[in-house]
Amino acid sequence: MPLRLLKFALAKDHPAPRFFKSHETPKKSYDVVIIGGGGHGLAAAYYLAKDHGITNVAVLEKGYIGGGNTGRNTTIVRSNYLTPEGVNFYDASVKIYEGLSEELDLNLFYSTRGHFTLAHTESAMRTMRWRAEVNKHVGVESRVVGPDEIAKACPQLDLSCSGQAPILGALFHAPGSVARHDGVAWGYARGADRLGAEIYQNTEVLGIDVKNGKVCGVKTNKGYIETKQVLSAVAGFTPRITEMVDLETPIVIHPLQACVTEPVKPFLDTILVSGSLHVYVSQSSRGELVMGSSLDPYEVHQTRSTLDFVEGLTSHMLDMFPFLSNIKVVRQWGGMADMTPDFAPIMGKTPIEGFYLDAGWGTWGFKATPISGKTMAETIANDSAPDLIHSFRLSRFEDYELTGEKGAASVGH
């Protein structure tokens, strides 16, 4: 690496390779237009090309790639969900993640840490046992552990939580990991670009043209683009896109906030989550503590962050780790979480021919980036959703067949 850097420094014209080509203006038409250059949209472009040979594809991003929730999340990857459908789906994603740095030829700093969901009450213990049994049944490594094992994995943790909420046990999920979130977006962008897809930043979709129930094009700030297939992968902007095609969904937007501390000497190997204390935390490879809390309590379409959030979160962090009282929070931010009533995503076809939805990713969609890209690509290529995402279809609400993941998703992202 230093040699390569030196080469760039000495070269006259800057030879550093770009991650993806920048094109002037979009073409007149594409086979597929993907709205949203987050991880999900870029992964879909990559798998459309790689798995299905569909390369006449444009990804339209109104800002910069990865600037949405993809670059704002706390990067937890896990599959210890509550429903067998959810566990199977997220497990497929974890398996792709494990080989993704190699596949995309980019170090995603994918780091398997083990994930503890702490239980402070009997009823929380009951949910942990339930999740452990469902996970084992589907073949995912999760088990309920007692305070001893938690203390061994994380000796700095005050198991009594300042006497406020003593820890009774935890759900331990060995595959739990963290990764570099922007790397995932950039890796998929480069992969898709190399295979022929075109990526447009600063390109906003302003309207979607639907005639006789079929998609025929999109209006953008860079002109009109003809296409018969549109994928909406815009997370917190989903209701604005579905409004363009008069499609009703259950999605509501609430901010979700996070923050990091200054870097400290590595002490926390695992990922810790406490539903009762509304805290989850891991330590980044740079040494920062990456922390988040529960969803903001009311609807706002903004990425602002608040003092209330940091105050609440840090007071609970001190219940768990009193010795951190002198450590400074150096950054805080927010994203817009697209929430569904059952805490499961909405994926697949819609009543509008050629309009596909990849949404409802709320507080939990980073871990699903590879598998959602793959399954949405398959859905678009075949105009039919694979079985793996059947339980996430939009029509499940009309059928009253919800996929209840709340017990596994409400704080632990």
Partner 1 sequence: MKLLTCPMNGIRPLSEFIFGGEYRVAPNQDTCTDAEWAAFVHNRSGAPGDKKEWWYHTPSGTWFIAERNTLTDKVSRTYLHGTNNNVVPAQEEEGK
Choosing among ligand FAD, partner 1, none, which partner's interface includes residue 250 (Cβ < 5 to 8 Å by kind)? partner 1
CB of 295 or CB of 317, closer to partner 1? 295
CB 387 within 8 A of CB 261: no
Determine, following the binding rule CB under 6 A, whether residue 275 of this chain makes contact with ligand FAD.
no
Within 10 A of 162 (CB to CB), how many other CB atoms are there?
13
Of 391, 176, 202, whose CA–CA distance to 281 is shortest? 176
Q: Which is nearer to ligand FAD, 186 or 366 (CB)?
A: 366
Report the nearest approach of ligand FAD to the CB of residue 5 (Å). Answer: 30
Question: How far is it, in rounded angstroms, from Cα 249 to Cα 148?
Answer: 45
* Selected binder of ligand FAD within 234, 279, 380, 409 (CB under 6 A): 234
- Judged by CB under 6 A, does residue 367 bind ligand FAD? yes
Considering only residues 263 to 292 of the shown chain, the ones binding partner 1 according to CB under 8 A are: none
Q: In sequence order, which residues have a C-beta less than 8 Å from that of residue 227 and are 6 or more positions away? A: 29, 30, 31, 32, 33, 215, 216, 217, 218, 354
Q: What mask of x and - would describe binding to ligand FAD in positions 72 to 111, judged by CB under 6 A?
A: xxxxx-----------------------------------
58 binds ligand FAD (CB under 6 A): no
The secondary structure of residue 71, as a DSSP letter, is G
3-state SS track over 308-349: HHHHHHHHHHHHHCHHHHHCCEEEEEEEEEEECCCCCCEEEE
| Span 198-217, contacts to ligand FAD by CB under 6 A | 204-205
Interface with ligand FAD (CB under 6 A), residue from 32, 144, 233, 272: 233
> CB of 61 within 8 A of CB of 200?
yes
User: Is residue 312 a contact point for ligand FAD (CB under 6 A)?
Assistant: no
Run of H or E including 149: helix 147-153
CA distance 87 to 179: 20
Q: How many residues bind partner 1 (CB under 8 A)?
A: 23
- Sites of contact with ligand FAD (CB under 6 A): 35-41, 60-63, 67-70, 72-76, 204-205, 233-237, 256-258, 292, 335, 337, 361, 363-367, 413
- Sites of contact with partner 1 (CB under 8 A): 238-240, 242-243, 248-253, 297-302, 308, 338, 341, 397-398, 400
